[in-house]
Amino acid sequence: MTKQIALLVDSGMTLPEEILALPGVYEIPLNIIYKDAVYTDKVDITAEDIYARLDEEIPSTSLPSGQTIHYIMEKIIADGYQELLIVTISSGLSGTHNAVKLIAEDFPQLTCALIDTKSITLGGGLQGAYAKELIDHGLSLTECEEKLNTLVSESRVYFSLPTLEYLKKGGRIGLVSSVIGSALNLHPVVSCNEDGVYHTAAKARGRKRSVAKMVETASDFIGDSTSYDMGVAHAFCETDARNLAAFLKDTFPHIRNFYFEQASPALGIHTGPDAFGMTVLKHN
C-alpha cells in the first residue's frame, strides 16, 4: 500500500490558492525585512502593504528561519505523514532549497524528496500543483520525484517588467542588464535560465510590444506540444493580467489547467508594481 505523501512548498512559488487549500499541502513563508521590522510573507503582510510603502523603502527578503521550518516539519509528522515531497523556488534565486534540505536531515522519520523548480512565482507554482496531482493519483514518492525532475526543463516563466529598478536594488538582477530597462522605454521580458537565474528572454519597446513578445516567446517554447498547464500571475496590475489570461485561453488550444494568481509579496519586492507574466508547464 502506498504511504500518504505530504507536499511542502515555499511562499515564493505562488502555489495556486485552490491547491494550497487541499489536505496534505503545507507552505513555508519567506521573510520580508524592513529596517524596523520583519514580517512573514502572506501571514502578517500583504502585497498591497508592500507596494504602498515602496516609495519610502524597498524591503529585502530572506529565507525562512530554521525554527519556522522545524515547526512545519513537526506538524507534518504530527498529522501522520511519513513521506514528504518538497518543492521550492529556484536555488539560483534563494537559499530556501538548501536550507530545507539541511533541516530535513533532522527528521529521519520522514522520507523526503526535494525538487528544485529552477523557477519562481507561478512558474514554480505550476510544478507544485502538478506534484499534488501526482500524489493524489497514487504515485509513489520515487515516481513523483522522477516525473517532476524530468519536467523542470519543460517549465518556463516569463514576466514583462516596466522597470528593472527593483530587481537591481534587491540584488536579484541575475543575467539581466540593468541598463536596458531605463533606455528607450524598453520593457524586457525576464525569465529563468536552466540554472534558475533571471535572464533576459526578449526585449521590446513599450508595454504592448513587450507582452506580445512574451506570448511569442512562450509560443515558441510550447512548439508542437498538445498538453500543457498555463497560468498568469501579476504584481498589483489585475486588469492587464486578466486581459492576458483571456487572450491566452483563446490562443492556445491544448491547456490542461489554467491558474490566475497574484504574485506573492516576496516576488513583488523584486519586480515592483505593474509587473505581470505567464508560465507554461509542458506535459508532452
pTM of full prediction above 0.85 = yes
In this structure, the answer to whether residues 218 and 113 fall within a common structural domain is: no
Are 218 and 257 within one domain? yes
3-state percent helix, strand, coil for the chain, nearest multiple of 5: 40, 25, 35
Kindly state the average pLDDT of the residues 132-158. Answer: 97
DSSP 204: -
Does 117 lie in the same domain as 32?
A: yes
Longest dimension (CA), the chain: 61
CB atoms within 10 A of CB 257: 15
Q: Which of 106, 122, 152 is the last residue of a domain?
A: 152
- The C-alpha cell that represents 184 in the structure block: 528607450
- Mean pLDDT on 241-245: 98
Q: What is the mean pLDDT of residues 109-119?
A: 97
Can you give the CATH number for the domain in which 249 is found? Answer: 3.30.1180.10
C-alpha cell at 187: 520593457
CATH label of the domain that carries residue 24? 3.40.50.10170
Task: Name the domain count of the chain.
Answer: 2
What pLDDT band is residue 173 in, cutting at 50, 70 and 90?
low
Helix or strand (DSSP H, E) at 202: strand 198-202
**Residue 183's beta-bridge partner residues?**
none
pLDDT digits (tens, 9 = 90+) for 84-94: 999 999 998 88
Residues 66 and 138 occupy one common structural domain: yes
Question: What integer pLDDT is reported at residue 272 of this predicted model?
Answer: 81
Last residue of a domain, one of 152, 176, 193: 152
Residue closest to 125 by CA, chosen among 261, 265, 273: 261
Range of the domain at 277: 154-282
Co-location of 133 and 168 in the same domain: no
Q: What's the one-letter identity of residue 232?
A: V
Q: Do 199 and 271 belong together in one domain?
A: yes
**Residue 1, pLDDT above cutoff 50:** no
Are 222 and 194 a contacting pair, CB within 8 Å? Answer: no
Strand order in the sheet with 5-10: 25-28, 5-10, 83-88, 111-116
Question: Is 190 found in the same domain as 148?
Answer: no
Query: Is 269 in the same domain as 137?
Result: no
